Amino acid sequence: MKNKVLRNQIGWLFVLPAILLLLIFLIIPFAMSISYSFTDYNILNPDAKKFVGLANYIQTFKDGIFLQSLKNIAQFVVFIIPIQLGLALGLALIVNKKRPFNLFYKIAFFAPVVVSLTVTSVLWLYIVNPDQGLLNSLLKIIHVAPQPFLTSAKQAMYVIIGISAWQGAGYQMLIFLAGLQDIPESLYEAAELDGASKWKKFLYITLPGLKPTTVMILTTTLISALNLMTQSMVMTQGGPEYSTMTPIYYIYRTGFTDRQLGYASAVSVIYGLIIIVLTVVQRRITNRKEK
């Protein structure tokens, strides 16, 4: 009995650092956000905050910028998930084959992941510059008219989607690669003996074998996509015409630029609930498909 109690105490000691980190950086800040969301808390005048009830929450549903940011993030999620997962799977299939310079390809495909999003965003600002950017210079060579890219309300979000897919696909590639290597080679050999084509082997062996991996990647990519901020903040500042404003960036700007921490807290609580609901729905849909 004493040994069992001692083992439990030792176990709690090992878990304690993680619990403390969750408490300090997640649970307490979330509780404070809920508390601030019912006030008109201004960072520059914290002592003057007053209780305003549900006024901040009611205002969010009338806030055109916040509603536009929800539309923008929905557009981003709808496009980024199939593009990034498809690109990652394609890259994983390339590096999964034994070929010369395979290690070089793995490093090259993964390299954008290790570069910070801020550096990547600044780099792409030069590439897609409408006047002197490299991309428009290449388009000029093939006699295509220069494009406005990030200065166009119609193109800016699609540019950010493409850059984000390029930057993040290498991480998902490694996870897909691990999943591909877990599929028994004997299944492919048996299919080859039966005369199955490459497409049928991919359709009936590779894709079913990657189902658990795909579900995990889909969940992490969805959560990551819903947290889009850096690219919009660095490359467009939410413009033009709020076409790249995202909820996370709007929360940051409202809370720390406009100093309206009470209203920003209400927006963050609502958006946090949206993320939770979407994640639960996505998990239930994918689990149902697995069954």
Based on the domain organization, do 26 and 44 belong to the same domain?
Answer: no
Based on the domain organization, do 104 and 240 belong to the same domain?
Answer: yes
Based on the domain organization, do 167 and 243 belong to the same domain?
Answer: yes
Based on the domain organization, do 56 and 142 belong to the same domain?
Answer: yes
Based on the domain organization, do 235 and 118 belong to the same domain?
Answer: yes
Based on the domain organization, do 22 and 137 belong to the same domain?
Answer: no
pTM to 2 decimals? 0.90
Based on the domain organization, do 75 and 136 belong to the same domain?
Answer: yes
pLDDT by residue, tens only, the chain of 291 residues: 667 767 778 878 888 999 999 999 989 988 999 999 999 999 888 888 899 999 999 999 999 999 999 999 999 999 999 999 999 999 999 998 887 888 888 889 999 999 999 999 999 999 999 988 899 999 999 999 999 999 999 999 999 999 999 999 999 999 999 999 999 989 888 988 888 888 998 999 999 999 889 988 998 899 899 999 999 999 999 999 999 999 999 999 999 999 999 999 999 999 999 998 988 888 787 776 655
The number of residues in the chain equals: 291
DSSP H or E stretch at residue 156: helix 156-182
User: What is the per-residue pLDDT for 157?
Assistant: 96
User: What is the per-residue pLDDT for 284?
Assistant: 81
User: What is the per-residue pLDDT for 99?
Assistant: 78
Based on the domain organization, do 8 and 137 belong to the same domain?
Answer: no
Specify whether the CB–CB gap between 73 and 247 falls below 8 A.
Answer: yes
User: What is the per-residue pLDDT for 198?
Assistant: 87
Question: What is the extent of the structural domain holding 15?
Answer: 1-30
Within 10 angstroms of residue 94's Cβ, the number of other Cβ atoms is: 15
DSSP annotation of 150 reads G
Give the tokens for residue 62: 């009338």
Domain count for the chain, please give it. Answer: 2
Within 10 angstroms of residue 264's Cβ, the number of other Cβ atoms is: 25
Based on the domain organization, do 137 and 194 belong to the same domain?
Answer: yes
Specify whether the CB–CB gap between 267 and 275 falls below 8 A.
Answer: no
User: What is the per-residue pLDDT for 288?
Assistant: 66
Q: Which of 148, 149, 176 is nearest to 161 (CA)?
A: 149
Based on the domain organization, do 124 and 237 belong to the same domain?
Answer: yes
Q: What is the CATH number of the domain that holds 227?
A: 1.10.3720.10
Q: Which of 200, 179, 177, 176 is nearest to 188 (CA)?
A: 200
Within 10 angstroms of residue 95's Cβ, the number of other Cβ atoms is: 22
- State whether residue 39 is helix, strand or coil: strand
Within 10 angstroms of residue 269's Cβ, the number of other Cβ atoms is: 20
User: What is the per-residue pLDDT for 1?
Assistant: 61
